[in-house]
Amino acid sequence: MILALETSCDETAAAVLDGDDLRASVVASQAELHARYGGVVPEVASRRHLELVVPVAREALTRAGARLQDVERVAVTQGPGLIGALLVGLSAAKALAWARRRPLVPVDHLRGHVASLHLPPDPVWPPFLCLLATGGHTLLLEVREPASFSVLGTTLDDAAGEAFDKGARLLGLGYPGGAAIDGLAREGDAEAFAFPVARVGGLDFSFSGLKTALLYTVRDLGAEEAEARKADLAASYQRAIVRALVERARAAAERTGLERLAVVGGVAANSELRASLPDAAFAPLALCTDNAAMIASAARFTDPVPYPDYLSLDAYA
């Protein structure tokens, strides 16, 4: 039985995984706390994690019907993420493991996203091609072993989720913006504006030009007209991001010969992306955005550090 903690950004999460039985997954989102600043404020996030990490871990154990002494391994996100936020989870996990003389499993957050696919109800196992699209990363990965990968392509500037968030901000939709654009786009015409899909070499991505194109379009329209056409702008902008992701994923499939494509990370929750890749496997909706179930899942395929050697472990930003 694994108890996992995840505190890399603005979600405080804990999960209990027993074999492949996900007994509990608790996510306390801080999104509302950061919304008024238009983005995550690292120090505010760290302090909130500190308040939430024990109640969230306790809630996960309660929902799982387990006690701390039932936990065989404690897993935790070691990085990448906000360093102060990570340290809260890592310190809490060390304390929990140390108190029971259990091993600790440090987990890479990106491997965690990939491992969200290895959970019920429809687990996906390697080999497959994986599109990982979050607020911090946009990666095309070749996955040959569980929770492990080699990188085929990455973004040269903004991540796909970041492009959604920045676009939402330009349209006055608040933070985080991906889900807001997704919702508004349903009422708009995706062909109304022709936003560019950047063409960069290899299997890499670039989203900064798209964001600038939206900025200029909004400016040229003027405040009133931009407000009136907000749904069209959201739909066209989303179409450009989705098109870039789909094109590159298809090119990677051709290049690697990998027949199966899987999509993970917060942007995998996007309804247009899901509809545009009908043959792809998507992580379950609840496991697309940050959660601890995926960290527990990856921990099954990561070497544990024995008691008490992990006390000197550090997080990486």
Least spacing, CB of residue 180 vs ligand KG4, in Å:
8
DSSP state of 168: H
Residue whose C-alpha is closest to residue 109's, from 9, 40, 2, 177: 9
Total of chain residues touching ligand KG4, rule CB under 6 A? 19
- Helix, strand, coil shares of the chain, percent, nearest 5, are 45, 20, 35
Residue 200 is encoded by which pair of tokens? 């960069």
Residue 298 is encoded by which pair of tokens? 């990856």
Which of the stretches 29-37, 44-52, 131-139, 201-209 binds Zn ion when contact is defined by CB under 5 A? Answer: 131-139
Phi, psi dihedral angles at 8 (to 5 degrees): -75, -25
Of 249 and 288, which has the nearer Cβ to Zn ion? 288
- Alpha helices in the chain, H assignment, sequence order: 31-35, 42-64, 83-99, 109-115, 160-170, 178-185, 208-221, 223-228, 230-256, 271-276, 293-299
Which of the stretches 152-160, 171-179, 269-277, 286-294 binds Zn ion when contact is defined by CB under 5 A? Answer: 286-294
Q: Which of 126, 178, 188, 304 binds ligand KG4 (CB under 6 A)?
A: 178
By a kind-dependent CB cut-off of 5 to 8 A, residue 188 interacts, out of ligand KG4, Zn ion, none, with none
Q: Which of 290, 296, 305, 315 binds Zn ion (CB under 5 A)?
A: 290
Of 7 and 236, which has the nearer Cβ to Zn ion? 7
Cα 54 to Cα 60: distance, rounded to the nearest angstrom: 10
Residue 83 binds ligand KG4, judged by CB under 6 A: no
Residue 176 binds ligand KG4, judged by CB under 6 A: yes
Least spacing, CB of residue 162 vs ligand KG4, in Å:
6
Of 80 and 103, which has the nearer Cβ to ligand KG4? 80
Of 104 and 295, which has the nearer Cβ to Zn ion? 295
Of 124 and 267, which has the nearer Cβ to ligand KG4? 267
Cα 43 to Cα 215: distance, rounded to the nearest angstrom: 29
Least spacing, CB of residue 18 vs ligand KG4, in Å:
24
By a kind-dependent CB cut-off of 5 to 8 A, residue 126 interacts, out of Zn ion, ligand KG4, none, with none
Letter string b/e over residues 28-57, b meaning 16 or more CB atoms within 10 A of that residue's CB: bebeeebeeeebbbbebbbbbbbebbeebb
Residue 226 is encoded by which pair of tokens? 């931009």
Count of CB atoms situated within 10 Å of the CB of 86: 26
Residue 291 binds Zn ion, judged by CB under 5 A: no
Q: Report residue 82 CA to chain centroid gap.
A: 14
Residues that bind ligand KG4 (CB under 6 A): 9, 134-136, 161, 164-165, 176-179, 182, 265-267, 269-270, 289-290
Instruction: Give contact residues for Zn ion (rule: CB under 5 A).
Output: 134, 290
